[in-house]
Every structure is written in structure tokens, then in C-alpha cells.
Amino acid sequence: MPNKNGRLVALVASIAVAAVAIGAALAYRQGPQAAQADAAPLSGSPSPASLTPTPTATPTPISSATPSTTPVVSPKPPSSAPVTSSGPTTITLNVAKLPKGRAPQMPYLIDRTVLGGAGYDAKIPGSGGVVGIGRLDSAVLAVVLADDGTELVKLGPGDEVRHTPNVSSLVTAPDQSMAAYAAASISSLGRATKGGTLYAENFGSVKSLKLPDAWNLQVLSYVGGKVYYRAGAAESGGWKLYTWAPGTATPDLVTTVTSPTAVSDDGKLAASAQLINDGGSCSSVVEVASGKQLFRTCENMISDFTPDGSVAVGEPDYGDGYCSLKQTALDARTGKVIREWKGCFHRTVAEDDQHFLLVAVASGGGGDPGTKSAIIRCAINTGSCELATSISTDKALALGR
């Protein structure tokens, strides 16, 4: 049983918003597999054969006074049309040879600077590792490692800085109008403790809900004015899905979903971790309203959805280790594998209905001080990939959600 619980905690951490930075900060235990082929460029990009390898470069210094011009994109209505694709299903990436594309169209982190989204570039103060990021209107939110655990740092207009202790998970709305975060204390031994507080914030208004009996509290999504979160009744065991309308005194239990790992942007679909043990895991996608199971997979753990809910992001069924050796796009209604990219990845987020953003290792890893990484963009319908940031050495990279 202890092994199962440890496996459960590790896999949950790999799915959480905080997972990438925690994984990068705590361990480099496994090197990436050698790439075997190059991905084709995205539409309109030059052919890889005409390109010289991308040189290693430190990103251009970023001015905190330069506003981002990236537009904010709101979620689209859900689509029930079959997902179409062309080209090979499985693609092994050579990150160093990918062509350069545009910057990520959502908040992202290079070293300690948050870029992307609508707002000013902002450097996160201090030296603690950055666990998760997001934007709320023109402010920047960051979950960082602190001496006694984690905390939320809010960087507002001017020099305003606000600290909220023990925050370990964060989600923001695609239009930057809302943010939800959860404070759940971690013991000095790194174990979860009982109780936590849920927060919802928009345009200067902060509402909170104390949950004294909750274990492993984590926010999953902020949809239609409701915060979706998961929590357990005990330190070990399954989690339940709840919704909370900020300002109300009690949450509502969603009885149709067990052990949730993700909720779609329209709140209609949820991913469920049905089985986790030392040999792997199984995951399913269900309709939140009815509990109807759309598909089950024991080859992937579902961690995200595209904004229209048509495509699910699949992590490896066994999530421990230095990095994930594959990332998969699956039809969210049937579970059919649309695309699978092989490489060494720390984080994958759906940028829009047609593209994934991935934090990918280009070379090194497993404790190598010369590790090179980049954020890349991959098209779901063709499998083509491009660099969304320059390849950098030993700089933290992260994606908001």
C-alpha cells in the first residue's frame, strides 16, 4: 500500500499545474531518448532540409516595461465533429532541428520572467523555484517554492506585490478575467496535511472557502463562474470532484466523476484516473452531466483538453521519472490516437483547438548542467512542430494554464 500511495502522489503531481517546475527543481534522474526523425514544420514554415540547426542561445533580455501584444482568446463552443488528421501518427522529434515559429500565445515563463498573454512582461522576485504561472487581468500570478512550502505571489500594477501562503495549485481563465487557487499545507516531511482554503479572484475581488476536512486539495478549472476542484476524504484513497460558486458557503459534490484529473473549458467533460499502481495507470473521459464514459485508456493519463473539448492531452500511463517520453493527442469522444510525439517533455498544454505547446528537452538532462530545452508548438492535424522559444541552457521554462 505505501508504494501505491507514493505512486499516486507522484502521478497526481505530474498532472497538476505545478508539476513542471517541481519536477525540474527536484530531480534530473533520467536522460532523454535519442531522436530518430524530424517533425515537419508547421504550415508556411520552411522545410527542415533548408535549415541549419538552431544555435543554442540565451533569450534576449526582456524589459519589464514592454507590454505584450498577444491577444486573449476566449473558449470556443464545444465541437462534436470528428477530428481529422493527416501524416504519420507517431513522430519522433529532434528539437534542435525544428524551425522557429511565433512565440506562445498564452502566458509562459523563461527563467523568472512571465511573458505572453495580454499584459506586461514581469520578473518574479526572489529565488524560490517557480511552480505555476498565470495572468489575471494585467496582474501576474505565480506559485513559488518558499522556505516552509509554497506561496502565491501576485505582481500587480506598479510595485504592488502580494503573498498568499501555502498555495500549491493555480488555474486562470483563458480571457484572464478570473483565477482560482488552493492553499494546502505540506508537512516538513513533504506529506500532505488535512485541510485547506480555496480562493477565487477577479478584478480585485477575492473570495475564499475554508475546507478543514479536505485532503490533497487542488483546483482544476474555473468554468462558467464555478471553480472545479478535487479533494479526498483521507490522506490516501480516491479523490472527488466538487464545484464551488464563489461567495457561497458550501461546495457541491459532482457525483458523476471520480478521481478527476482534468475538466474541459466548457465544464462538459472530465478526465478520471480510474487505476493507479506501480505497473501503470488507466484513465477515462466522462460526460460530467450524465457520468457516461466516452472511452477508457490504459496507455495514457488524460491531463488536459483543447478549448473546444474535442481533443484530450495524454501523458504516459506511468508518470514517474525525469521527463515524459511521449505526449499524445486523442479524440476526446472516442479515445482514438490522433498524434503521438516522442521525445523528452516536462509539460504539455493545449494552446488552442489545433495546437499543443510542449516544454521539450533538446539535449542533456538527467542532472546534466548543460541541459538545453525549449517550448515547442505542435499541430494536432498534421503533427508538424516548430520552436515557440529559442533553445536555452539551464533556464526554467513553464507554461500557464
Going by C-alpha positions, the residue among 223, 229, 236 that lies closest to residue 253 is 229
Per-residue pLDDT at 244: 98
Instruction: Return d(Cα 174, Cα 107) in angstroms, integer.
Output: 10
Task: Read off the DSSP letter of residue 400.
Answer: -
23 CB neighbour count, 10 Å cutoff: 23
Per-residue pLDDT at 279: 66
Q: Tell me the per-residue pLDDT of 76-115, one tens digit each, with 9 for 90 and over.
A: 444 455 566 677 899 999 999 999 999 999 999 999 999 9
Task: Read off the DSSP letter of residue 307.
Answer: T
Give the mean pLDDT of 224-240: 90
Q: Which three cell numbers stand for residue 12?
A: 497526481
CB 122 within 8 A of CB 133: no
Residue 96 has, within 13 A of its CA and on its CB side, a CA count of: 14
CB 382 within 8 A of CB 357: no
Q: Tell me the per-residue pLDDT of 161-214, one tens digit each, with 9 for 90 and over.
A: 999 999 999 999 989 999 999 998 776 666 778 999 999 999 879 999 999 999
Angle at 54 (CA atoms; ends 52, 56), nearest 5 degrees: 140
| Phi and psi at residue 120, to the nearest 5° | -85, 150
CB 175 within 8 A of CB 181: no
Q: Which three cell numbers stand for residue 247?
A: 461567495
385 CB neighbour count, 10 Å cutoff: 29
45 CB neighbour count, 10 Å cutoff: 17
Task: List, in sequence order, every residue forming a beta bridge with 55; answer none if it has no partner.
Answer: none
Angle at 20 (CA atoms; ends 56, 35), nearest 5 degrees: 50
CATH number of the domain at 2-399, please? 2.130.10.150
245 Ramachandran zone, left/alpha/beta (phi>0; psi -120 to 50)? beta
Q: Tell me the per-residue pLDDT of 9-58, one tens digit each, with 9 for 90 and over.
A: 333 433 343 433 333 333 322 333 333 344 445 644 333 333 333 333 33
Per-residue pLDDT at 52: 32
Q: Tell me the per-residue pLDDT of 108-148, one tens digit each, with 9 for 90 and over.
A: 999 999 999 998 899 999 999 999 999 999 899 999 998 87
Q: Tell me the per-residue pLDDT of 273-324, one tens digit each, with 9 for 90 and over.
A: 977 666 678 999 999 999 999 999 999 999 999 999 999 999 987 665 789 9
Instruction: Return d(Cα 229, Cα 252) in angstroms, integer.
Output: 10
Per-residue pLDDT at 322: 84
